[in-house]
Amino acid sequence: MVKSMGYFVLVALLALAPLCLSHKIHGGGGRGGYLHPQFYDHSCPQLHQIIKSVVAQAVSRDRRMAASLLRLHFHDCFVKGCDASLLLDNGGGIVSEKGSNPNRNSVRGFEVIDAIKAAVEKACPHTVSCADIFAVVARDSTVIAGGPNWEVPLGRRDSRGATLSGSNNDIPAPNNTFNTILTKFKRQGLDLIDLVALSGAHTIGNARCVSFRQRLYNQNRNGQPDFTLDQVYAFKLRNQCPRSGGDQNLFFLDYVSPFSFDNSYYRNILANKGLLNSDQVLLTKNHASMQLVKQYAENMELFFDHFSKSIVKMGNISPLTGMQGEIRQNCRRINAY
């Protein structure tokens, strides 16, 4: 009798094990379900190696690509949740999010996602969602740039639509006020720690002149620059970012170590050399945020720990699960039925 009871207890524990390792989803969408890292262990065991290989090749060809791929995950999750709606092209009644103000002439790396999807479909047809590919790519892009590693909860499905208005309204903008940015985070179930930690993704990548020009010439619409910006740094920026023209000229978000995922972004902010207004206000507009900037500038391990937890939390925003949505065969368009 004791042996049989022990057997049933063991079976019960094994049945519950996936739930112990799973992540409850959250966010404004109210969709139910769980995500867990082992979702494709049996149906597509090659998944992680395929993605890691393609990302490594892409970054070896273009060092900017790590930041570009990481950014795609952010811009997807903040609109309708993490459902790969960002990948859909115009057509068939869909107005692509790629044409929104935050994305137009800015987001890139779609061809890398295409290459990953093609390789995954060849190995595991009709199995892995584009939304899950986004999530794993974000992790691998961070790691290849020297950043933290984390387990990626999986099990998302792909949307059958996009929302241009959501992309325009829900993605934090570089010239938003601190309170506006925090409000946009809170709408997604994210908090102030998530805001400051995830902003650290700006330790790699570039921004366009048009994204911060107002700081150089007309911060408060009074013809004056932003005096919270180091003026020597501002002078250098003006050389390549004039009052008019040069909108697409690129500048490192972290001029100290632009291709290394580290904590120099926060040190730059403390030196009043955050490039975007949305970077510098982390120091100047909120005491709790200022304290986190100082802590991350001093302790990279703390930043890595918080970033890892926050990006997993972001990746759990309102995904489609179970029988919701679909597994797209081509990430750029919905399946034909």
Question: Binding site for heme b: residue ranges?
Answer: 202
Number of H helices, E strands in the chain: 14, 4
Give CA–CA dist 322/34, Å, rounded: 9
Taking the C-alpha atoms of residue 183 and residue 185, their distance in angstroms, rounded to an integer, is 5
Catalytically annotated residue among 23, 36, 73, 75: 75
Distance CA 219, CA 247 (A): 17
- Burial category of 194 from C-beta neighbours within 10 Å (exposed 0-12, middle 13-18, buried 19 and up): buried
DSSP calls for 17-32? HHHHT-EE-BSTT---
Q: Which residues are annotated as a binding site for substrate?
A: 172
Cα–Cα distance for residue pair 328/334, rounded to 1 Å: 6
Task: Report the Cα 183 to chain-centroid distance in Å.
Answer: 17
In the chain, how long is the greatest CA-to-CA distance?
84
The backbone region for 66, taken as left when phi is positive above 0, alpha when psi lies in -120 to 50, beta otherwise, is alpha
Cα dihedral 54/58/59/62 (nearest 10): 180
Residues 6 or more apart in contact with residue 295 via CB below 8 angstroms? 302, 303
Query: Catalytic site residue 287?
Result: no
Distance CA(133)–CA(110), nearest Å, equals 12
* Residues with active-site annotation: 75
